[in-house]
Amino acid sequence: MRQATDDILAPQRQAERARITESLARFQPTRIAVETSPKDDAKLVEAFQAWKHQERGLRTSEVEQLGFRLAAQQGVPGVQGIDWMGMPPWRPQGP
């Protein structure tokens, strides 16, 4: 059985994305980290710049729908990939 999916690019869904971005902007971020491999940062920068210059539209990923919008709204030069699966284990600091 196929599960029905709604269109992330539909006006209602885009309005939801805009509200989420506005909520995140209240934190006044100076850097935007997205869950993708840091080795793809050059591709992210290229895609972000192309979107900012209206050379392409936003794709359906969270990275673009939320990360690109938030970076543009906050005047941040782009987004950076962080890959929590590739990070070393977290160790608490202290005694």
pLDDT tens digits along 44-60:
999 999 999 999 999 99
CB within 8 A of 71, min separation 6: which ones? 32, 48, 77, 78, 79
Contact 83, 35 (CB under 8 A): yes
- Provide the pLDDT for residue 53: 96
Tens digit of each residue's pLDDT (9 = 90 or more) over 28-39: 999 999 998 888
- Provide the pLDDT for residue 56: 96
- Provide the pLDDT for residue 85: 72
- Provide the pLDDT for residue 83: 78
- Provide the pLDDT for residue 89: 62
